[in-house]
Every structure is written in structure tokens, then in C-alpha cells.
Structure 1
Amino acid sequence: MVFKRLLGSLGVGGPMVDTVLAPGAVLPGGGLSGEVRLTGGGADFDIEHITLELVARAEAEYEDGESHGTVAFDRYVVGGGFRLAEGEHRSVPFTVNLPWETPITELYGQQLGIVLGVRTELSVAGAKDKGDLDTLTVGPLPAQEAVLEAFGQLGFGFKSADLEYGRIGGTGQRLPFYQEIELTPAPQYAHAVNEIEVTFLATPGGMEVILEADKRGGLLSSGHDALTRFTVSHDDVPHHNWKDLVDGWVRELIEHRSSYGSNSSYGQVGYSHHGEAHHGDHGDHGHHGHHQEHHHDGRRSGPGLGTAIAAGAAGLAVGVVGGMVAAEVVDEVGDFFEGDDEGEGGED
């Protein structure tokens, strides 16, 4: 869907901008291509810069509630330094690389409810105006898809997905927010956990997989959260049994309830512990996270790609994302135009 807007700071007769993204989903760390189409106004204008800005709808949690806003997390200058003549039509092609931590918005063609956008900004003779906003669709990396597929094959169900403003301490996180994919437990784990949240922090070489369990309390103990972290390599995707590996992760997450306080150091291989995860410290946007108790994390590196999910198979394509309501996603896209406050931009 393409949105057009007359550059308000230039008034009637100013140039118009229409950014068209290449069709299909892009991947985290992958190339986003398209073209910025300019239409000259009633006079000649000097186009100083054409800038693309990646924006996301994120949630910030506080002790007394939560708030939602639009967060800018990367910017790219893709053109400029030319004069756009009166009535002239000009296209500026571009290809930029997304940050590796860019959240995924769809899985097996089903929307997850995450809203990302590409906002186009023109700098014209010293005046700046955001002239166009397009929805950005991001699919999973092979390792991300394999992990989620394994959860589906184990019997987990999709509950929701959102973006949390803040940081997970002790990780390599670079963006000002992180994605949480909330899953309902498979029957064999339902006695121990209410839900499991999955967070991916991808890098060029691999990915941190952070699992958080909202644990059920027993007669002699109260429920609490546990968090573990594992690392995987992109190169290892085809070589391992994902279902068994993820099953081991979940069992470790549940079984290490009593290991809070371990002094093990973080590492890619073997058990490790990163202490308390701190979320926030972003001024007014910082929020008090719910990762309050943490456990051993880090399993042996190297999950593998399971067999492809056939139509109707018992995987995430049916069991996890099948119930998503597309209308809710459409409503979220409209929120981009309601003037939300923007947070700080993130690092590339």
C-alpha cells in the first residue's frame, strides 16, 4: 500500500514524493530495494537530500502502565544534490541493508501483528518534511523460521507478538527495542508454564535466542519468570534436528528454576548465565521489565532445519499463526499517521 502526501512545508505547488518498495518480504540484514518517485511542483526546487527512515510501533512498560509510540531505528540517505524542474518526473532507485535485528512481521505469509514502516523525508532548499510512508514486510531468517517451526511441531500455539522498548541486559542487542513472540505452551509443558516468549537478536554470523517462561506456581512456590539464552549459527541451519534441540531448550528453561544466582559466565558453547536482564534506561521511554529471575542459559550452538511443513501439517503454519486477524494489522498501520511521539533512533 502506497501513501502520498503533499509536502506541507512547501505549500501548494510543492513537489510530491511517492516511495515504492519492491514486492515481497525482505529478511533481517537483507537488502531493501525500491525507488523514490518525485513529481515536480509549480516551480524548480533544489532537492538536497532524500532520506529513508525505518520506523516501528513499540510498547513501553512502566510500573503504573504502558504506552505505545513510533520509534525510528535506522536512517539512510539515498539521493539528493539535484534540481527538480517544474513538473519533472524523476525516479531515484535505492537498495539499503536492514539492521540484522529488524523484527519479523510475517511467518508463512501470515501477519504477526508487528507494524514496521519506511518513511521518506525530503530536504528541499533547507526545509524538511516527511512526505511518504510505506508498510515494511519482513520475513524470518532460516534460523528464525526453523526455531519457530520447531515450536509449532512440539505443539506450541501462537498467542501474540509485540515490540518492547528497552534493552535486555547482557546481550548484544543494538536496536532500542526487541521483539517478543508469545507462545502458548504445548500440552506436555502446560503444567509448568503459562506461556513462553521468544526473542531473536540476529547478527551477521548467528543469532541469540532468548526464551522467557512465565512459570506456574505450585502449592509451595509462587510463579515467576525464568529467562535463558542460547546462540545459534546461520551456517548450522541445515545440519541439526531443530525439534529435538528446541525441546531441550524448553526443558532446560523449566528445569533450571533453582539455578538463579549462578556465577557462570556467558559463552556460545555450554551452560552460561548472564545475570539479571535490565530493560530500559532510555529516559522517559525506559520501562521496568518483567525478567526478574534468570537461569542458566546457552545450550550448545547449532540448531538445525527440520523438514518443511506441508500444507495442513502440524506446524506453525497452522498451529501457531493460523488464527491471526488481518484487520487488526490494518488498524495498526493507520496508527502511523496519528502523530505518535518518536523515540530515539537505533544503531545500524
Structure 2
Amino acid sequence: MEAPDLADAAVFENLTGETLVKQQGEINGQGIALIGMERCTVMIMDTSAYCYCKGLRDSRVLIGPCAGKVTLEDCTNCVVSLAAAGLALSRCQSLQVYAQVGSPVQLEACEDVGLGPFNAEYAGVEAQMAQGGMDLSVNGYSQVVDADGVAVAPDCWRLLDAAETWRPVEPAAEPNPEEYMNFGMPEPSLDAAALPSPVLPEPTEAEMYPEYAKWQAEWEASLLAKAEEQAKVKTENKKQAEDAMDTFFDERTDAKARRQAANRQVEEEKMTLLNNRIERGNEKPWESVTPIRAPRPLLRPRNPSSFSTPKLELVSNLNP
């Protein structure tokens, strides 16, 4: 689908969040181009030769009676009300189009397009249609064809019910300041002190040094991440230490129990041995049989009166 020559057209482009209103006599049969608009409200309440719309996003558009064709190209999520001799859509998505057209609608590579009857009403619109020679008894919005004039199956488009009438509110004329501000204000004195220069607020550190502010934010984020990591490591180390202490105390308790058991066994063995000795000590010694040995002989002198004689004789202890 080729774009028309816009050399003699009134072009409105690159608008965001604005309201564009053109009253009767401002376009006066000239061509119109609406290009690159987002979140805008456009109300063309005048006649035009043709209208070319491209790159409209999230907008609501009213196009008054157009003697030629209205072309919508690469438009998304818009509501359009128009009256024209013809209508062509190319690469459009999620559109609701309420149209009064004298020929079938041409559709090319579109998705989710809804078509319904013209629903706008403003002062002079019927006279503009009659002036343009539009037959209101014929409306081709429900007939959809492709570029070759072949009917398009209703898989990418659908019919819409008649919508609520759109009655654009005409903006009030701006008052003339000369009509209500001529109060005969006195002229300032020549000796009046000059007004001081306005004191601008000091720029913030982020405004003065954006790169530094960015680096500081990244540095603070890294410190926070490192602190979280250290806290996690600290928690893990604490848990490991607690587990090690539990293991140590369990092993020490088991070793202590084993030593106590071994000591009790040794004490029991000692008590058994002592009791055995006591039992043996209570035995009567005279009841035991002891072998009798002969007494050892003693040596005595033969002549007790003479101690000079070294000779001794063997005597018995029984016969002194």
C-alpha cells in the first residue's frame, strides 16, 4: 500500500499525550497526514481531500467527511471514527473503526480489526457530508476485501455493534486579555529598586555528578550483597560449630560412661579379691597340718669352768 504524496497536505506528527482539534474552515478541503502519535486525541471537524494516518498508538481519532480515501497504516490500539469515500487498512492491530464509507473496506495484513457504523456527531457534519456528495443510505463498512478486491474471511476482522455517539466538545474561545485586563496599571517608578535575581536551588549531588551517583548506587548494592553473603557464611559457620560442639560433648559423654563402667569393673574385681583374702584369713592355723622339723643343735664348751679351751661339744637342748 503506497503512501499518498504529502507535498500539499497538512502534516501533524510526533505528538504524545496531546489533543489536536481542527474546526470547520481550518483544513478547508486540504489533505491531512497524522504521523507518529501516541496517547493523543485528534478531532478533525472539517472536510479534507484525503487523510493518511501512520504509526498511531493508543489514540482516539475523529476524521470529518473526506472526499477521497482514508488510509490507516501501522496503527495499534486506536478508536477511529471517520466518514470518507473509501477506507484502507494495512498492518494494523487492535483497532475499532466506526466508518461511513461509500465502498468496501480494503484490508491488508491486519489483526483484530473491528468495523462498525459511523458514530460521531458535531455541528455541521451532515451539511459537510451532503456537500461532499456522500450517500448516507450506502455504507460499505461491513464489506471487506483485499488489495485485489477479493473478499476477506472474517478471521482477522469482526463487525461491531453501533457504539455510543461521540460528541466532541468544542473548546471555548480564549478570552482577549485586552478586554478584561485594561485596568490602567501605573507605570513603575524610575527610582524603584530592581527586583533581585531569582535564587535557584542548589543542584543535588546526583544532578552534578550523575556518573558518581551511579557508581555510588552500584557500590552500595555490592556492599549489601557482600553483607548478605557474609551473614550467610556466618550462619553456616555457626551451625557447623554447634554441630561440632554437640559431637564433642556426645563423644565425651560416651567416653566418660565407658571409663566409669571400666572403673566399676575394676572395683568389683578388687572387692572380690579382698573378700577372698578375708575368707582365707579366717581359717584356723592350728587345724592345718604343718611338718615338724628337728631343732637345730647348739654348740657348748666341754668344760664350762674353762673358757680358755676353745673346744666345744655337742649337747642337746633337752639335756643341758
Please indicate the TM-score interval, normalised by the length of the shorter structure: under 0.3
Query: TM-score, normalised to structure 1's length?
Result: 0.21
Report which of the two structures shows the higher radius of gyration computed on alpha carbons. 2
Higher helix share: 2
Higher strand share: 1
Query: TM-score, normalised to structure 2's length?
Result: 0.22
